[in-house]
Chains A and B, each alone.
Chain A
Amino acid sequence: MNDLDAEDRRRFEQLVLPHVDAAFNLARWLMRSRADAEDVAQEALLRACRFFRGFQGGDARAWLLQIVRNTCYTWLEKNRPMELSVEFDEELHLQTCPTPETIAIAGDDRERLTLALETLPPRFREILVLRELEGCSYKEIAAITAIPIGTVMSSLSRARRQLYSALTNSLKEPVREM
């Protein structure tokens, strides 16, 4: 199957391939696993290549990340549906998720933050990753996640609060001293 001609292929390499890091980073945080992220990122890039004709210009990073996100959710739905079905029960922590105890004994702050971020429901985790790690604007986040801008703002607020409490619950010493 060869859907792209040489010109399309060249445009794909110019516009989309520079965002492979962004694609992998989002996948890594949504999947909570580097190995799964490698598979999903490959799959997403292939899809993007096949659907490149549907790309009508504009923000190539947002376009690619939206495909990455869809690919991640489809994969999770198939392989780890529990993670998606309980996501709005904010009190319920998944068995595979880090507990406050494991966060507390984590070696350094990077590990602690990683574990805390991984306790958040995927919809909150992705919005934090897009904002804080990827530096996306609200408008870009809305385009990638297909939610209204107003919801982006309120979700960010809740996501930050949850991350903050995941960190403080797990620590004896005050977070501010970090």
Chain B
Amino acid sequence: MRCDFADSLLQGYFDGELGGRRAAEFERHLRHCVHCATELVDLDLLRDRLQLAQLYEPATASVRRKISARLHAIAPTTPTPQPRLWHWLAAAAALLFVAILLVRAGHGLHSDDYQAELAGEIVDAHVRSLQPGPMNGIASNDERVVKGWLDNRAAFAIPVRDFANAGFALKGGRADVIEGHAVAVLVYERNGHPINVFIWPTQEPDSPSRTGSRQSFQWVDWRKGKMEFCAVSDADTVELEQLYQLINSSA
């Protein structure tokens, strides 16, 4: 038996996540509700059991070693002194290469590596979005509803347009995080294929579309008006380019 009225309050109370007023409200309820009182005891026992069993598994020494070796390979801390001339030459060449990468990154344009990696992350996020499960989003074909939802969650204003007339029906919006960047996602559908358009603010100048593919997904990326857009789908690149034209000419 459980008490549906108080179920989520009970979890919040048990986890110490209720504010003072709601906690007091729950405690008043608790005086009269045997189910909740019993369940609290059960939750307590379960937590004790989990703690007692010491299920936490810290990183093993071997995984720590491997991580530190691999991190060292991509981002060495201090160069070790090398006596031989060719070592110096190799180090100089490596430094020059790094300097070029940094200059390119500093000039705004991401390096191609970085771009490809970011696109990969976005494709992964697209794939995750196709999984069943709770999603931080809203399903609606109403531009204003989707825009209102996103504006409440993103720190930047999102242009939301439905292109159902042109065959790209707006299905909703989501908030997502791509490796530390908060992004807004517009969801469209084209002939049964879901298309996610990831949007985040950028300082970079406008740029025309670039396309690429990863696994069996295509992506089209562009920047306009201090926003970066990346559309991902298993639909044809041609269709993604159409959506790019539609969004770009309306933004």
Contact = CB atoms under 8 A, between A and B. Distances in A.
Contacts of B59: 20-21, 23-25, 41
Given A3-B101, A176-B45, A133 B56 contact: yes
B75 interface: yes
A14 interface: no
B114 A3 contact: yes
A6 B66 contact: no
- Dominant secondary structure at the B interface: helix
A1 B215 CA distance: 22
Interface in B115-156: 117, 121, 124-125, 127-128, 131-136
Interface in A14-67: 20-21, 23-25, 28-29, 34, 38, 41-42, 45-47, 49-51, 54-56, 63, 66-67
A25 B71 CA distance: 19
Name which of A2, A9, A21 has the most chain B CB atoms within 10 A of its CB: A2
A109 B49 contact: yes
A12 B125 CA distance: 24
Contacts of B133: 87-88, 123
A70 B127 contact: no
A45 B60 CA distance: 15
A114 B56 CA distance: 10
A54 B56 contact: no
Given A67-B179, A88-B132, A137 B56 contact: no
A42 B181 CA distance: 21
B250 interface: no
B74 interface: yes
B134 A123 contact: yes
A74 B74 contact: no
Interface residues of B, number: 60
A41 B63 contact: yes
A85 B124 CA distance: 16
A154 to B, nearest CB: 6
Given A47-B179, A113-B49, A131-B15, A3 B75 contact: yes
30 contacts: A9-B75, A9-B77, A20-B59, A24-B59, A34-B60, A42-B66, A45-B70, A47-B179, A56-B180, A70-B124, A73-B128, A74-B124, A77-B127, A85-B131, A85-B132, A88-B133, A109-B49, A109-B53, A113-B50, A114-B53, A117-B55, A131-B15, A134-B56, A153-B8, A153-B12, A153-B17, A154-B7, A154-B11, A164-B46, A176-B45
